[in-house]
Amino acid sequence: MRVLCFVSLVVLASPFWATDGRAQDRGSIEISGRVSVAGAQVKLKRKRFYLFRGGLEANKAMIERIKAASVTSRDCFYCKAKASAEYTTWLKSGDCESPYCREIEGQDIEKVPEFQAAYQKGLKQFRGKPNLAQKWLTTNLTPALRDGFYRDRKTLTTGLLGAAKPLQSSMTDSVSVVAIFIDIPLNIAAGKKTETFLVSNLVPIEIGDKSYVWACEAEISVGKKVKLPPLPLADTSKIVKKCEVVVRDLPKCTVGSCAQ
C-alpha cells in the first residue's frame, strides 16, 4: 500500500519537475518613439506601449474597439472640465497632461486662479505654512483638474482592452526615446523560428492637430533583440506595413468653445 502511494505521488508529480527543468525561450523587442512628421522628427517621450500575443488578426476585436472608441483630447477634456484659460495655458506651456507634470512655482500660483484657490485653501489647512501649501498644492485642486485626465485615460484603456490581456507594457524613455520589452516568454510553433506579437499604444498620442494609435505586428525570435520598424504615419486610418494606424483629427477646443 505504502509503495502504491509512493508510486502514485511520483507519477502525479513528474509533469511538474519535467517542465521546471526547461527554461522557456525568451525574446525581446525595442520600439522607437521617433516618428517623422512633415520631414521633422517628433519624439514620443514617456508614452506607454502594450505587447499582446498574436498579430492583427488575432487581436481584431481589440483593434475594432480602438477604431470605434470615443476619445476626448487633452484640450477638450480640460475645456469641458471648465479649466480657466490660465490653467490650460500652464499645461500647454510645459506640454503637460496634468498638474503632476512639473513643479508648480510661486509665479504659477499668482497667475493661475485654480492654483491660487488651492494655495489659499492649503494655507488654512496647513496652519499658515506657505511652503506646504505650495508643495502640496495638488491635494487641494478639484478632482477633474487634478487627476481627471489620468482617470479618463485609464477608463479608456480598460475599455479598449476588454478581455485582452497584455503580456507586458513599457514606456518610452525621454532620452533614447525607446520602449523595451524584455524576457518575453515565447511559444514558437513547430517549424517556425518566430512568434507573432502585436505592439500598440492603445491610448491616442497627440501630434500636431491629429492623434494616432498604432497596432503593429512584430515577429520575435529567441535571444536576439528585435527592433520594430519606425511607427508609420498616415493622413487617414489605414494599414501600413503590418501596422494598423488609427488617425483622428483633434477637435478645436478652447475655453468657452468645447467642440467635443
Partner 1 sequence: MKRKVFTISAVLIVAIIFAVGSSAQNRDRFSHSTPAHQKKNCASCHNMPTANWVAARGFPDVADFPGHAACASCHMRDFFRGGNKPIFCLGCHSDVGPGRGPRFAFPVQSRSHEFLTKFPHNVHQDVVARNDSRNEIAVAHFVNASFTRNVDDKPPQFNNCAICHETSTKLPKLETLPPKDKSLTPLGLALTESFTPAAAFFKDMPSGHQTCFACHYTGVKPVANNCAGCHTLTKSYTDTNILGRYSLKFDHMDKNERGDFVHTRDCMTCHVRISQNDDIAKMKDPDVPILACIACHGDKLTEEIGKRESSVAANTAAFQCSYCHTTAIGRFAIPLSHK
Torsion angle, alpha carbons of 234, 236, 237, 239, to 10: -50
116 binds partner 1 (CB under 8 A): no
Question: For partner 1, which stretch binds (CB under 8 A), given 4-12, 82-90, 193-201, 232-240?
Answer: 82-90
Binding-residue pattern over the window 1 to 30 for partner 1, x denoting contact by CB under 8 A: ---------------------------x--
Rounded CA-CA distance 253/94 in Å is 18
Output the CA torsion sign for 199, 204, 206, 212.
positive
Establish if 59 lies at the interface with partner 1 (CB under 8 A): no
How many residues belong to the site for partner 1 (CB under 8 A)? Answer: 66
Provide φ and ψ at 199, rounded to 5°: -115, 130
Min. distance of Cβ 112 from partner 1 in angstroms? 8
Q: Is 111 in the site for partner 1 (CB under 8 A)?
A: yes
The answer to the question of residue 260 lying near partner 1 (CB under 8 A) is: no
Residue closer to partner 1 (CB basis): 56 or 81: 81
32 scored as a contact of partner 1 (CB under 8 A): no
Asked if residue 94 binds partner 1 (CB under 8 A), the reply is yes
Q: Which of 7, 9, 61, 85 binds partner 1 (CB under 8 A)?
A: 85
CB of 150 to partner 1, least distance (A): 5
CB closer to partner 1, 56 vs 97: 97
Helix (H) or strand (E) holding 64: helix 60-68
Query: CB neighbours of 5 closer than 8 A, spacing ≥ 6?
Result: none
Strands 225-227 and 26-32 turn out to be parallel
Task: Cell numbers for 211, please give them.
Answer: 492623434
Which residue type does 260 have? Q
Q: Which stretch binds partner 1 (CB under 8 A): 2-10, 149-157, 191-199, 213-221?
A: 149-157
Q: Which residues pair with 207 in a beta bridge?
A: 210
What distance in Å separates the CA atoms of residue 192 and residue 27, rounded to the nearest whole number? 14
Identified binder of partner 1 from the candidate list 205, 213, 243, 258, rule CB under 8 A = 205
